[in-house]
Amino acid sequence: MSLIVQKFGGSSVADPEKVRRVAGIIAETYRAGNDVVVVLSAQGKTTDRLIATAKEYNPRPSKREMDMLLSTGEQQSVALCAMMLESMGIPAISLTGWQVDFKTNSNYSNAAIKSVGQERIRRELDARRVVLVTGFQGINKYDDITTLGRGGSDTSAVAIAAALHADLCQIYTDVDGVYTADPNKVRGAKKLDEITFDEMLELASMGAKVLHNRSVEMAKRYNVDLEVLSSYEKKPGTKVRRISKVEQAEVSGVAKDVNVARITVIGMEDKPGIAFGIFSTLAKEKINVDIILQTLGHGGAQSITFTVARGDGERACEILEQHIDELGFSGLDMDTHVAKVSIVGAGMLTTSGIAAKMFDALASRKINIKMISTSEIKVSVLVDEDDADKAVQAVHDKFFGD
């Protein structure tokens, strides 16, 4: 008998038919003798609808009142799902954030979790009830309702699993697991049985939107075993763990990120601290810089090239232009027609030649590499956006091809 936390997203509980399916999964887990805690998001587009309604009352509502309003969505979800379970003969009880003492800070609409009470949930589990808890919400020290921001229900589920020392936290979504690459775009993409937290974090930040990074970070910190699986198909998903139990693959996934702009600062004066000046100026404006390449250009003048999120590109250039004399450079060049292709794998730590293998795959398809960045478990290259899909396929074939 295990204690299992199961989280279902808004699209999985959008209507009575879908809730019936979800209740079926819960009932099966419960009937197998497990203690089951269920975390639910608001149904379907409820949150979007409530936000739109709020705007009719106040174009700029306070975040405190917005959280008060939005939290009703999850409360309705858990109550209706409890009713469905009752109709199937499964004892169930729904609980809100305050009822399980789900404490957060006071950063309304994007609150950070501080602690989760065990007492009430344990008592209900001891009475052999399925416990349904509202995702996405908590209370602050003033007993006011807070919400965790978008994707917060995943994080709620992990926090509850951590507090209860659950054996497993299952995140049910509309995909059936984590793949070696986007299965809709890459031939031969395979579902992974297992992946480590760090790999998952790198893949997620690369745009693989299976799990919210915040939830994976929390799972890593509290060592909560995760499983990503489908609400629609009954088959095992992908386990996300501290250390993978199967033999570590050298590479676990290939990802593409087109949300990138490359900026080159040209004709920099040859004086110390200029790179620091550029990046601290951007940091003050909360613009994150990713890959950085510093080169010695023609005639001894230096240049620095770096990437930012594409949406930040224009603003980054404007800010640097404003400080052109003070920072000491002659011009800027921006290229938004680029993409980042990355391989991620915990196995890289112990295997050599992984990066070389990736470059070989790209070279054989005559794909030009504009920039390179490596970390312990990741190698990223910047390529022309037109080459990106071809690059992903080539790299994927190299590592996962038969």
The residues of the shown chain that bind a second copy, judged by CB under 8 A, are 16, 19, 50, 53-54, 56-62, 64-66, 68-69, 71-72, 75-76, 78-84, 86-87, 93-94, 96, 98-99, 120, 143-145
| In 243-300, beta strands by DSSP E | 253-257, 261-268, 289-296
Burial of 193 (0-12, 13-18, 19+ CB in 10 A): middle
Q: Smallest gap, in angstroms, from Cβ of residue 382 to a second copy? A: 45
d(CA 257, CA 181): 12
Position 136: which residue type?
A: F
83 or 168: CB nearest a second copy: 83
What is the total residue count of the chain?
402
140 or 215: CB nearest a second copy: 140
Q: Smallest gap, in angstroms, from Cβ of residue 103 to a second copy? A: 15
Q: Smallest gap, in angstroms, from Cβ of residue 45 to a second copy? A: 15
d(CA 202, CA 156): 21
The three-state secondary structure class of 238 is strand
Tokens of 105: 């800070």
Burial of 316 (0-12, 13-18, 19+ CB in 10 A): buried
83 or 309: CB nearest a second copy: 83
24 or 61: CB nearest a second copy: 61
66 or 379: CB nearest a second copy: 66
What are the φ and ψ backbone dihedral angles of 136, each rounded to 5 degrees?
A: 75, -10
Tokens of 277: 């000046």
92 or 348: CB nearest a second copy: 92
Neighbours of 375 (CB within 10 A): 12
Q: Smallest gap, in angstroms, from Cβ of residue 58 to a second copy? A: 4
Q: Are 371 and 307 in contact (CB under 8 A)?
A: yes
124 or 199: CB nearest a second copy: 124
Tokens of 107: 């950063």
Q: Smallest gap, in angstroms, from Cβ of residue 7 to a second copy? A: 19
Q: Smallest gap, in angstroms, from Cβ of residue 100 to a second copy? A: 10
Tokens of 250: 């050298």
Q: Smallest gap, in angstroms, from Cβ of residue 57 to a second copy? A: 4
End-to-end CA distance of the chain: 40
